[in-house]
Structure 1
Amino acid sequence: MDDQLQLATFAGGCFWCMVKPFDEMPGIEKVVSGYTGGTVENPTYEQVCSGVTGHTEAVQITFDPTVISYSKLMELYWLQIDPTDAEGQFYDRGDSYRPAIFYHNEEQRAIAEESKANLDKSGKFSKPIVVAIEPAKPFYEAEEYHQQFYQKNPERYMAYQHGSGRARFIERYWGEHNGSK
């Protein structure tokens, strides 16, 4: 990886829905769907979904901090999830779909903590912000058919966005300011 590039890792439910908003931003070099936080090396989708590996579906973002800051990535992250639901996201339930921020250094940890506290204080939500902030662990790339799902299967992606309740939630809480097009 280029010396100036950095990693950001976010879990926000189904990783299919977490790629597109970041993928479209200037300064983002790559967005990869995968699994992190568990105990099994190189888990498969089936293993992760079974709940026995301890992994969470996540996206790992390679970004250029001279073009887009980690703070900006944090802002975009909040616009994609229900930050008051620690048990999963929308239709997807369980640990493999829990929301979490996996920081790669102390600066990211501090920015994530401050961003979470600011969202909590904002009054935007009537319930507390419960997203976990944890140190990054090994990240395992998901199977190829999961990568760039929104591009490979646009109709299925849109149906899932709407059917899961994610699109409705984002529209309700963020309206036109959701960061994705």
Structure 2
Amino acid sequence: MQVLEKLKPFVLISLIAICLAVQSNPVRAQATEILTVAGGCFWCVESDFESVPGVIEAVSGYTGGKTQNPTYKDVTKGGTGHYEAVQITFDPAKVSRKRLLELFLRSVDPTDAGGQFCDRGDSYRTAIFVSNLEEEALAKEVKAEAEHALGQKIVTPVLAAQTFYKAEEYHQNYYKGDSLVFTRFGPKRQAAAYKRYRQACGRDARVAQLWGDAASFATGH
């Protein structure tokens, strides 16, 4: 007992030191969450959200369907049930889920049930994916607020999250890639090809027309 009594001050000092170290070096691991959305071309959604402070990364992929391990060709030809989607990892201490949902709905045409802009078909439809009742309630709340602000019916569904399949590597960070690709505009570096595609598809023009000053990312593209 005497030994334990002698050790108490040292134990107390050690605990205080540990607490101070934790306060000065907060653990970052607890500060990440995931939001999965489908907004047409996943290159564009990835590009938009990686510009948002608080977003750690955005990954292009496929979700919402039945086909396991789908390829880009599988999804775009139809029949898989999958959407082109983006999985957004973010720090909720820097940007809230609600704010990201607000930005998302104002970065697409949520009144279009047949695709997005020049990209038509089921795989290009919009959607918000949720993992629990809290996320579902928030998504529906943000959707209702956006519908009121827009003054038009929003058809973007709120769906239960399913397995997310990461798209092929050449799709990741396509918007800033340096590889040479062959396009209808001729051979171009990925970043330049992406800009030409986005402009030709009319994405920003339509979003600006629909949302005006509230358009999330249209200005500057």
Hey, what does 1:166 align to over in structure 2?
A: 203
Partner of residue 155, structure 2: 130
Residue from 109, 112, 116 that aligns with 2:143: 116
What CA distance in whole angstroms lies between the structure 2 residues aligned with 1:173 and 1:47? 31
Check the 8 A contact 1:8/1:104 in 2, yes or no.
Answer: no
The aligned residue for residue 140 of structure 1 is 165
Q: Structure 2 CA distance, aligned partners of 1:105 and 1:23?
A: 25
Deviation at 1:50, TM superposition (A): 1.4
1:66 to 75, 79, 93: 93
In structure 2, the partner of 1:11 is 38
Amino acid at match of 1:19: E
How far apart are residue 132 of structure 1 and its match? 0.7
TM-aligned CA deviation for residue 164 of structure 1: 1.0
Structure 1: tracts of 5 or more residues without a match: none
In the TM superposition, structure 1's runs of 4+ consecutive aligned residues that sit over 4 Å from their partners are none
Two-structure CA RMSD over aligned residues (Å): 1.6
> How far apart are the structure 1 equivalents of 2:73 and 2:161?
22
Structure 1 residue aligned with 2:215: 178
- The TM-score with structure 1 as length reference comes to 0.92
Asked whether the equivalents of residues 21 and 76 of structure 1 are also in contact (C-alpha less than 8 Å), the reply is no
Once the two structures are TM-superposed, the CA of residue 175 in structure 1 deviates from its matched residue by: 4.2
SS at match of 2:31: coil
Q: Is the contact between residue 11 and residue 58 of structure 1 (CA under 8 Å) also seen in structure 2?
A: yes
* Higher radius of gyration, 1 or 2: 2
**Aligned-residue offset at 1:82:** 0.3
The one-letter code of the counterpart of 1:157 is Y
Deviation at 1:61, TM superposition (A): 0.4
Q: How far did residue 179 of structure 1 move?
A: 3.1
| Secondary structure, counterpart of 1:162 in structure 2 | helix
* AA aligned opposite 2:136: R
TM-score (normalizing by structure 2): 0.76
Structure 1 partner of 2:49: 22
SS in 2 for 1:3: helix
Q: Deviations over 1:61-91 (max 9, x none)?
A: 0111111100110111012110101111111
Partner of 2:3: none
Which of structures 1 and 2 has the larger relative contact order (alpha carbons within 8 angstroms, sep 6+)?
1
Number of aligned residue pairs: give it.
179
Does the aligned pair in 1 maintain the 2:109–2:210 contact within 8 Å?
A: no
Instruction: Return the alpha-carbon distance in structure 2 between the equivalents of residues 154 and 175 of structure 1.
Output: 26
**Counterpart-to-counterpart distance in 1, 2:211 and 2:64:** 29
**Higher relative helix content:** 2
Q: Is the 8 A contact 1:113 1:133 kept in 2?
A: yes
